[in-house]
Amino acid sequence: MSGTFSSINTALSAIRYNQVALDLASNNIANANTDGYVRRRLVAGSVGGPTTPAMWSKYDGHGDGVRVVASQRMVDVLLDGRVRREHGTLSYLQTTQTVLKRLDDAIAEPSDNGVAAALQEFRSSWHDLANNPGGDAARQQVLGRAATLVQAIHSQLSNVTGEEADQRVHMLSLVSDVSSAAGDLAALNQTILSSKANGNDVADLEDQRDQLALRLSELAGAVTTVRPDGMYDVTVGGQSLVSGNTASSLTIASGITATGDSDGTPLTLAVTGPSGTTPVTGLGGEVGAVSDLLTTVLPGYRAGLDAVAKDLADTVNAQHAAGYDASGAAGGDFFSYDPADPAASLAVAITDTSKIAAASVAGTVDGNNADALSQTGNVESAYQRLVNSFGVEVSTLNSRTTNQQALAGSVDESREQQAGVNLDEETVNLMTAQRAYQAAARVMSTIDEVLDTLINRTGLVGR
């Protein structure tokens, strides 16, 4: 179209376009602090002349204005994938760090109330008895220090088993969250696909879907890929969790009952979907961290504590049996324990102070065996190795977590530069759209004046 009236349509298109630009900038500003919001950019397209050749006419205009091509979300698929990956790794490390830090505080080594201090006091009590083998107070002190040592081991084991119980309940919650998020993401996949086909704006729905994809990465180290039709596919541990509009569930195959108790078997996970149940391993995020804690870290420390308790009982019992008690009888077991669960079942087997085999020769009052008991075994070294190994693991984890936080922060900053709302930039966009709107309105006013002259004044002559 060309001519005077075409200019009105061109000005109108500019007014409409800049009205949308004003709305878009205003919406960006309104959502500057909305979690997961990705700023929008208006894409303009010039309305040109006809593209189909005509035999008997030609287009003699100079363009027919502007149109809105799209409201574009400022996202980068590769950068979003990197953000999800780094956050999944960070979630794994932070979850593990939180649990190990809590356990490290409970171990409380070195301290005056830990197992190491109780071991030292137990040995010291045998030394005091060797110096005063006939004293009942010294014998009572041995039993008292032994009971304190047993209680210290029980207390430390209780912290480990308590943490295991907490993490089993935590795992139940996590698999439920993963399944729920997967279902929501699959539903959004279908809604977005249908809405796009109807020409609706789906930017807000895509923001929600990206948030769910990030959450699945943090929960289970999920990997998200974009299909040609725009829907997301999600895998965990190499197994499909979301395929288009179909979602599977992450389930606990064994190891944890529905009430959060241990069923006595190793912890295993599976993905249950329309095609059946498939075992899954190698998960990341919180689920991977809790799985590793329950299958490796916490059982490993508990096994080390069992070994210390068994070594303590065996070495003390062996030396105690080589001596004689106050009545001249051979010494019996000083400690008792269940071989299947040494640390939890460890107990002082003697309650009568006269049964303590302090003498090395029957019928004598000497403290040679008590002196030997003060030096027997190397339990302290074994316990120190256990604690030191755990401390090194905690220290290494702290360093890895600090480094990962820096890396995740870096990719978050890169994404924020692209997807985040910059208030200064949006203010400029508002002013630009405002001026353009005013200019288009001025064009329309000018054309109105031209038409007024053309219609109402053409042909008039002065009298």
Contact predicate 271/240, CB 8 Å? yes
> How many CB atoms within 10 Å of residue 267?
20
Q: Report pTM.
A: 0.88
* Structural domain spans, the chain: 4-74+421-456, 77-419
Sheet holding 223-226, edge to edge: 223-226, 232-236, 239-243, 246-247
- The interaxial angle of helices 298-321 and 379-419, nearest 10 deg, is 170
Q: Which pLDDT score, from 0 to 100, does residue 456 have?
A: 81
Q: Given the DSSP bridges, would you call strands 335-336 and 347-348 parallel, antiparallel or unpaired?
A: antiparallel
Contact predicate 248/234, CB 8 Å? no
Q: Which pLDDT score, from 0 to 100, does residue 462 have?
A: 57
Reference 97, options 302, 408, 299, 400; nearest CA is 400
Cα first-last separation, the chain: 38
Q: What is the largest CA-CA distance in the chain?
A: 154
**Sequence letter at residue 136:** D
Quote the DSSP letter at residue 339. Answer: T
Preceding peptide of 342 cis, ω within 30°: no
Reference 250, options 355, 153, 324, 179; nearest CA is 179
b/e for 79-115, b at 16 or more Cβ within 10 A?
ebbbbbbbbbbbbbbbbbbebbeebbeebbbeeeebb
Q: Which pLDDT score, from 0 to 100, does residue 188 have?
A: 97
Contact predicate 244/189, CB 8 Å? yes
Integer Cα distance of 330 and 141 in angstroms: 21
Token readout for 414 is 């890169």
Q: Which pLDDT score, from 0 to 100, does residue 61 have?
A: 58
Helix (H) / strand (E) containing 141:
helix 136-197
Residue by residue, pLDDT tens for the chain (463 residues) are 555 667 888 889 999 999 999 999 999 999 999 999 999 999 988 886 666 666 666 665 566 788 888 888 999 999 999 999 999 999 999 999 999 999 999 888 888 888 999 999 999 999 999 998 888 899 999 999 999 999 999 999 999 999 999 999 999 999 999 999 999 999 999 999 999 989 888 999 999 999 999 999 999 999 999 999 999 999 999 999 999 999 999 999 999 999 999 999 999 999 999 989 999 999 999 999 999 999 999 999 999 999 999 999 999 999 999 999 988 899 899 999 999 999 999 999 999 999 999 998 887 888 899 999 998 888 999 999 999 999 999 999 999 999 999 999 999 999 999 999 999 999 999 999 999 999 999 988 888 888 888 788 776 665 5
